[in-house]
Amino acid sequence: MYELKTLLPQFEIKLPTCMYALKNVSLGADTLAGASTSSCTRKANANAAATCALDLDSLGRQIQQLLKGETSTVAARQEKVLKQLEDLKAQLGQMRAGLGVCGKTIQHTTAFQNGGLKEVPTNSRDTLQTNHVKPHCSLAKQVPLQDVVINGHPNFIPYALLALKNAWQKLYTIDVKTFTHSTMADIGPAAREFEANLAKVPVNPSLPKINVTLIWKNCEHTEMISSPTMYVPIYGEVNIIRYLGRVGPAEYRYEGSPLCNEIDLVLDICYQLLRCNTHKTQVAMVRLLDKRLQQQQFFGGTQISVADIGVYSSLIRMPTITDKDLTPALVAWRKRAKLVVQI
């Protein structure tokens, strides 16, 4: 290859002799320094080594103190987490006892058939034959469910609570208490009318009950909190209906029904309907509901279900959808559902 020209000329650098010389800190310092300089360097190194040893001891003590503090902090956090797990376990045990679900296997026990009532044996013989107790035994002990809190905006009123409370008057009790958060200056006439209608429904103390606290709040989505120890919200009125349908009376529990998928599909359509921004998309969702209803009396058969509650509540929250947008089958269904939900 061709040779390139040298950019910098090669010449020797002459150091000035009019100034004192500084210690060379490069790797070749030992070879350039003299005997006197070497002895001074060894003394300096010895002093530096002693100082480094002291620094290492001090650093070691600081690290031990830091680790000791972090260990105590981690232990305290672990104790807090364990306590929360114990509280959660106790809550799940109460819910399992209230629903009458066996802790080992999934069984349809007599408590499940009685809508949340737990059978109480009267003697040792009954204790051995608990599974053979008649479903309508007179001795029954009610185990209350965990209270739930629902945060909702007055512009998105959860009419499903009122619909379920009216539909379950003879089966189950939903005791709803309402409060207003400081973020809301006024809840408006519609929310006040909703509160008045909730108060009109009587509470039967002899029936299984779930306490619901409804808080009017400036929030974007309707959310439900079912556990006081950990904030795990359930978003959307449709999903709240699903939860209440699982803990409510046995007549409305649809997980073991052959129409389980159909009911979930109708509730999914309701979820999409509530999020439609234009009237055209809302009417398209209504057409899907009409296809699911067909010629049936209710969504899912001849008996009303949580799917009907979800559809009825969703249509109330959509004032732009009138009877002109509904098919004749949906208009007839709405009249039948109104007799049950009484809204």
DSSP 135-167: TT-S-EEE-PPPPEEEEE-TTS--HHHHHHHHH
Of 72-86, 89-103, 131-145, which gets the smallest average pLDDT?
131-145
Q: Dump pLDDT digits (tens) for 261-276.
A: 999 999 999 999 999 9
Q: How many angstroms separate the Cα of 112 from the Cα of each of 117, 119, 306?
A: 7, 10, 18
Q: Residue 27 above 90 pLDDT? A: no
Beta strands 233-235; 173-180: pairing state: unpaired
Rounded alpha-carbon distances, angstroms, from residue 36 to 46, 93, 151: 16, 84, 84
What value does the mean pLDDT take over residues 131-158? 64
CA angle 112, 114, 120 (to 5 degrees): 90
Beta-bridge mates of residue 298: 301
Q: Is 186 exposed, middle or buried (0-12, 13-18, 19+ CB in 10 A)?
A: exposed
One-letter amino acid for residue 271 of the chain = Y
Burial of residue 239 (number of CB atoms within 10 Å: 0-12, 13-18, 19+): middle
pLDDT band for position 196 (50/70/90)? Answer: very high
The confidence band for 90, taking pLDDT boundaries of 50, 70 and 90, is confident
Q: Are 238 and 306 in contact (CB under 8 A)?
A: no
Average pLDDT over the chain, rounded to an integer: 78
Across the range 300-309, mean pLDDT stands at 89
Give the whole-angstrom CA distance, residue 127 versus residue 133: 10
Percentage of the chain exceeding pLDDT 90: 34
* Distance in angstroms (rounded) separating the CA atoms of residues 212 and 146: 9
Task: Please report, as a single letter, which amino acid is at residue 246.
Answer: R
Average pLDDT over residues 67-78: 77
Contact 214, 176 (CB under 8 A): yes
CB atoms within 10 A of CB 165: 23
Residue 193 has pLDDT above 80, yes or no: yes
Task: Please say whether the beta carbons of 124 and 142 come within 8 A.
Answer: no
- Dist. CA 53–CA 165, nearest whole Å: 77
Q: How far does the chain reach from its first CA to its final CA, in angstroms?
A: 96
